[in-house]
Structure 1
Amino acid sequence: MQILYNILAIIVAIMIIPVFMVRSIREKGFVMRIRQSLGFFPEHALEKVAKKHCIWVHAASVGEIVATSPLIKEFRKEFPTSPILVSVVTTSGYEMANRIIKDADSIIYFPLDLPFLAGHVLRRIHPRVFLPVETELWPNFLKTARQLHIPVMMVNGRISDRSVKQYKHLHSLLTEMIGTVKKFAMQSQIDADYIMRLGAPPELVTVTGNTKFDQTYTDVSAEEKAQIIREMGLTENEGIFLAGSTHRGEEDFVLKAFKAVREKHRGAKLVIAPRELLRTQEVIHLCKKAGFTVTTRTKLQQEESHNEDIVILDTIGELGKVYSVGDVVYVGGSLIPHGGHNILEPAAHGKAIIVGHNMFNFKDTHALFKNRDACITVNNEQELAEEVVRLFDEPEHRARMEAETLAIVNENKGASRKSAVILREMLEAYESCPENRQRARATQKIDNFQTYFIDLVHSKEVHGFFMHIIMGILYVFSVIYAGLVNLKLAGYRVGIFSHRKLDCFVISLGNVTVGGTGKTPTAQRLATDIRNMGYHVVILNRGYRAKWHGKVGIVSDGKRLHMSAAEAGDEAFMLAKHLPNVPVLIGADRSLTGKYAIEHFGAEVAILDDGYQHWQLERDMDILLVDAVNVFGNGYILPRGTLREPVSHISRADVCLMTKVDQAAEGSCEYIRETVRKNNTDAQILESIHQPRCFIPLSDWYVDIAGDGIEVDQMRGKKIMAVSAIGNPASFEQTLSDLGVVIIESLRYPDHHDYNMQEMKDILQQAKNMGAEAIVITEKDAVKVPAEIIQAGMDIPVYVICVEVRFQQGSEEFRQLLEKRLTEKLGPR
């Protein structure tokens, strides 16, 4: 059923492209709506909510936004530290939300429920909880919520007769959607019965009432009411008849009723608020055809009133307040088979209300007011005219209805408060469950595109029709990419492309996979060993993500730093800070930076950090790093997998260094050895581990990167938040777990991510809210943390885990090989 739904969704999306193109020209703000619906948000839109444990409330259009407004106020009281995100579907809903919801941290358009798109946006935001208002259930979105173990609670739930019949056709899809929701807070017992008929477990269903009874954005003082009347040119009137949310066909009924009123009340005025603003000109034509003078709200804002008979309300978000000026109110969508509109907005002002007999979308609310004679129901245009005239003629009858309407509204307030309390209870129960916490932590590790992509391509089983298509496309590109890599390498081997040569001993250090294998700490260890042998060594780094751009960049001259982390890139800066006696240079062309290092620093040995693929330069030794935790990626070339080049290219390596062997799964090291021997019988095999040295407070680390800090055993049993932006965050987290640290939360950012001040403040606040005793980051992250955050002070300690590479099995053989090669070229030391 999911596959069929996705096929239909894609077909519909393609078919409505022409409609979208027309609407983008005709409707203001429609382009922004489509961009956000496709997942392209402005930078500021998600800044305060993405990955910040937010409460996400989704309301489709204006009506749901009205219901959402009081909910947001109560959520803010109940969860003062949790950011709140509101999403909408329509342009009018977006404008209304920005007008009346002031407590939300962000308001966006909801993503289209297309395969992968809805899931991508949900992963990007990763809220604490998702709250659909009324009946906003979307299969692909909810499917991702299940996968990420994000709890879902329906608030102000409402199900119409029509919806019950339509939902039943969804079969298994409906079962999955209903099964995702952890709590159903419904408007009435009728709605509760309907949702249980659709499969909701009775123990998860509760009746809270309608939150629209709690709305306050429509509150109007006597001064504001007088101002509205004045601005709309209604000052001289003998009563105002207001028709709200009218649909095509209803304006004719309303105009006939108004004509009947005018026979006795010559100074009566009419206000019409069409449900669709695009019909404004059509309604103006109908009014003129009926013999009335007419103007619009927007025209009156630009020029003085000429005392017209009718005013068309052609603005968004004002109807709720404008209802206050009506003496008799007709709520549209009810004399045609649309199902009516909510009568609670005019009821909040204590108005005498008339509706048609088609109120099936609001059965419970309509029944409540009708049974207490607070709402008149008519069956046709003749009855509408009669009842409108009667209410104009009998002010006593109108006053009695108004008083009863206000009484009903006051009696039914409190649904929003109930919903907030239920949400609190639901979250406490859900988040206190150890199994749920563990699942949530596991899914939050896939919280950026980079880690999501790696997890996707590493999946051992590919489920779903569309996943097979995507993997097939990625595989085709992998074949093309592998062919280009082989072709380029062959060009160097046969002499089509020329190698450059440096007058020093060149060592390349790299890998055949993307992601972290430990190149930087290994380069640090190797440079230290070679320096201790008595040789002048330099490190040549490509300067990935460096803000400095040029041919030769000096990060360190071996005596002092010349660049910041932002200018040099995190890896080069960290190497320079760790190696005070080793010059570190950056530049894309290592032959240029190497030549500079020889001429200015007397370099005898140049280490190419991440240089296994830098074929332009001749090397004296190639050291290939293989992560024993993530062995050769998944065996596929980019983009189907994470291999930079085929595994057979191990043949170029002089040394194969297996990193993190202490964390390797059983059999991994043996498999690596077999693969190396299969492709390279001469390469020396070496093993290493990343040994945690200490935990250094972040402020101390900035002062002395080689400080003693605190011993690793002192962190055992402490509840910490692990934060990282590295190639292999799983290894970092495994290291912490092996030390006995209790990880209550792990935040993963894309590799080489630059932290900003607000981001760090949010991380600190989240850790504090979750009861963490400390935050632990890597040295690679430490260089990217703004110094201002330290100067401003931190409420929770932040530690940098310092690790050092230790060579294990094969270390003596490797040292002998290195000394032999160096001596042969440079002479003994």
Structure 2
Amino acid sequence: MKGRALLSPLAVLYRIGLELWNFSWNFRKAVKIDVPVISVGNLTAGGSGKTPLTIYLAERFLERQTKPAVLIRGYRRKGKGDLFLLTDTKVVPPVENTGDEAQLIYRRLSGEVPVGIGRRRERTARFLLEKENPDLFILDDGFQYRKLHQDVKIVIINVGSLKEPVRLLPAGDWREPLSALKRADILIYNFKFEAEEAGVPDGIPLNKPCFKMSYRATGVVAPELKMLGVEYIKGKKAFAFAGIADPRGFLKALEATGMKVVGSMFFPDHHWYSDRDLRKITEGSKKSGAEITITTEKDLIKLGERGSEILALRVEPSIEDEEGFWEILEELLPFEPPETEQREA
């Protein structure tokens, strides 16, 4: 952190540019499409839980007989141009082309929810609107994407990030200051696997609907995508590795299952694994005396057949006062989901 503190002058320039960019939207118009758009975003660079919440929202909308589609940039993917994972896609493109998060979203939703991948989210939205006719869009990592009109803006706040001073990029991990939350409609405090002890810090608007979110391990993904119960790994010695923004949260998740982490190795967020990386992981696992090698679902997807002997922990979000969350979300949406009508009938 001391090294990054030396970048404070650049953070000042970043903030000036950010404020000019946001101010410009007082005179510019975002593209509005024909169906509602729910944005899931954050204020920090990675590790807040946007993708798990995106999957959660899509699953719940399907249960409510509402057809969602997901829009995602495809950060750090190797493919270029717009790419689409449709409900009738027969051959899914390689993860290198789609990016790890898009692939995870599509697979977790069993191909029932189309995913548009591309920098210009308004363009991918128009294509999916014509091709798939969704009832609404979920815009993953969309809070800073001002070009597409968003009907509901959900912002996730990683509670762990509040333990450190708010420093903007590149001196810190914050993409925007806390004052940007005035643009949000719903705030979600993500406690992950931490005890819910943190209070609301200064600078967070208390007149916004606020909810608490945490993670729970719901299963283990084994080779050939076979699902096992969490009890399968309880008490086992494990070697953990991942390329994610918050490895400490992953370790806490593993420990919460009752397994013993005897060794670990971590890489930068969205890391693409080389054969050399895998050899290091295998050697580290053997030296630690681990019985299993385990990673995240996002990382396992990137390994493909090379990860045939590796397990992945499945983690899902849980929202406190879930019923209240959905009541507010449905009130903010400019249409009434079909299931809501049936429930009130």
| TM-score of the superposed pair, with normalisation by structure 1 | 0.39
Q: In the alignment, which of 8, 18, 41 is matched to residue 475 of structure 1?
A: 8
Cα distance, 1:604 vs structure 2: 1.8
Q: In the alignment, which of 108, 113, 119 is matched to residue 588 of structure 1?
A: 119
- Deviation sequence 1:63-121 (CA, Å, 0-9, x none): xxxxxxxxxxxxxxxxxxxxxxxxxxxxxxxxxxxxxxxxxxxxxxxxxxxxxxxxxxx
Secondary structure at 1:825's aligned position in 2?
A: coil
- Deviation sequence 1:204-261 (CA, Å, 0-9, x none): xxxxxxxxxxxxxxxxxxxxxxxxxxxxxxxxxxxxxxxxxxxxxxxxxxxxxxxxxx
Aligned position for 2:335: 825
- RMSD across aligned positions (CA): 2.0
Amino acid in structure 2 at the alignment position of 1:578: R
Secondary structure at 2:38's aligned position in 1?
A: strand
Aligned position for 1:708: 227
Q: In the alignment, which of 499, 502, 505 is matched to residue 36 of structure 2?
A: 505
Note if 1:723 corresponds to 2:235: no
Cα distance, 1:827 vs structure 2: 6.4
Secondary structure at 2:37's aligned position in 1?
A: strand
Aligned position for 1:686: 211
Cα distance, 1:559 vs structure 2: 5.4
Aligned position for 1:815: 326
Q: Distance in 1 between matches of 2:195 and 2:128?
A: 38
Aligned position for 1:557: 87
Say if 1:641 and 1:758 are closer, same or farther in 2 by CA, change over 3 A.
closer
Q: Distance in 1 between matches of 2:270 and 2:90?
A: 24
Q: Distance in 1 between matches of 2:338 and 2:227?
A: 35
Contact in 2 for aligned 1:554/1:562 (Cα 8 Å): no
Q: Distance in 2 between matches of 1:680 and 1:665?
A: 18
Q: Distance in 2 between matches of 1:660 and 1:558?
A: 37
Amino acid in structure 2 at the alignment position of 1:763: I
Amino acid in structure 2 at the alignment position of 1:780: K
Aligned position for 1:760: 278
- Deviation sequence 1:740-776 (CA, Å, 0-9, x none): 2211111010101111233213311321132111111
Cα distance, 1:623 vs structure 2: 0.2
- Where does 1:566-605 land on structure 2 (aligned, <5 Å)? 566-579=96-109, 580-605=111-136
Note if 1:484 corresponds to 2:17: yes
Amino acid in structure 2 at the alignment position of 1:825: F
Say if 1:777 and 1:789 are closer, same or farther in 2 by CA, change over 3 A.
closer
Secondary structure at 1:660's aligned position in 2?
A: strand
Cα distance, 1:613 vs structure 2: 0.3
Between Structure 1 and Structure 2, whose CA radius of gyration is higher? 1
Contact in 1 for aligned 2:190/2:214 (Cα 8 Å): yes
Say if 1:583 and 1:602 are closer, same or farther in 2 by CA, change over 3 A.
same
Say if 1:773 and 1:660 are closer, same or farther in 2 by CA, change over 3 A.
same
- Deviation sequence 1:455-499 (CA, Å, 0-9, x none): x25xxxxxxxxx6xx73x411111111111111111102x1x331
Aligned position for 1:695: 220
Q: In the alignment, which of 609, 613, 622 is matched to residue 140 of structure 2?
A: 609
Secondary structure at 1:638's aligned position in 2?
A: coil
Secondary structure at 1:708's aligned position in 2?
A: strand
Contact in 1 for aligned 2:193/2:216 (Cα 8 Å): no
- Where does 1:631-650 land on structure 2 (aligned, <5 Å)? 631=162, 634-650=165-181
Cα distance, 1:564 vs structure 2: 1.8
Q: Distance in 2 between matches of 1:531 and 1:784?
A: 27
Contact in 2 for aligned 1:661/1:687 (Cα 8 Å): no
Task: Give the ranges of 4+ consecutive aligned residues of structure 1 lying more than 4 Å apart after TM superposition.
Answer: 558-561, 826-829
Amino acid in structure 1 at the alignment position of 2:63: N
Contact in 1 for aligned 2:241/2:295 (Cα 8 Å): yes
Aligned position for 1:419: none
Say if 1:732 and 1:603 are closer, same or farther in 2 by CA, change over 3 A.
same
Q: In the alignment, which of 195, 200, 209 is matched to residue 671 of structure 1?
A: 200
| TM-score of the superposed pair, with normalisation by structure 2 | 0.92
Q: Distance in 1 between matches of 2:51 and 2:312?
A: 16
Q: Distance in 2 between matches of 1:825 and 1:789?
A: 43
Cα distance, 1:594 vs structure 2: 0.7
Q: Distance in 2 between matches of 1:584 and 1:558?
A: 12
**Identical columns (%):** 28
Q: Distance in 1 between matches of 2:283 and 2:157?
A: 37
Contact in 1 for aligned 2:330/2:337 (Cα 8 Å): no
Cα distance, 1:737 vs structure 2: 1.6
Q: Distance in 1 between matches of 2:189 and 2:89?
A: 32
Cα distance, 1:661 vs structure 2: 4.9
Q: Distance in 2 between matches of 1:609 and 1:813?
A: 22
- Where does 1:43-192 land on structure 2 (aligned, <5 Å)? none
Cα distance, 1:730 vs structure 2: 0.6
Contact in 2 for aligned 1:561/1:576 (Cα 8 Å): no
Name the structure with the higher strand share: 2
Q: How many residues align?
A: 338
Amino acid in structure 2 at the alignment position of 1:588: R
Q: Distance in 2 between matches of 1:511 and 1:632?
A: 16
Cα distance, 1:712 vs structure 2: 1.9
Amino acid in structure 1 at the alignment position of 2:83: G
- Deviation sequence 1:524-556 (CA, Å, 0-9, x none): 000111122222210000011122211x31133
Amino acid in structure 1 at the alignment position of 2:45: V
Amino acid in structure 2 at the alignment position of 1:565: V
Cα distance, 1:558 vs structure 2: 5.8
Cα distance, 1:735 vs structure 2: 1.1
Amino acid in structure 2 at the alignment position of 1:484: G
Amino acid in structure 2 at the alignment position of 1:648: S
- Deviation sequence 1:352-381 (CA, Å, 0-9, x none): xxxxxxxxxxxxxxxxxxxxxxxxxxxxxx
Amino acid in structure 2 at the alignment position of 1:812: E
Q: Distance in 1 between matches of 2:221 and 2:129?
A: 35
Q: Distance in 2 between matches of 1:633 and 1:607?
A: 30
Contact in 1 for aligned 2:192/2:249 (Cα 8 Å): no
- Deviation sequence 1:124-178 (CA, Å, 0-9, x none): xxxxxxxxxxxxxxxxxxxxxxxxxxxxxxxxxxxxxxxxxxxxxxxxxxxxxxx
Larger RCO (CA under 8 A, 6+ residues apart): 2
- Where does 1:26-425 land on structure 2 (aligned, <5 Å)? none
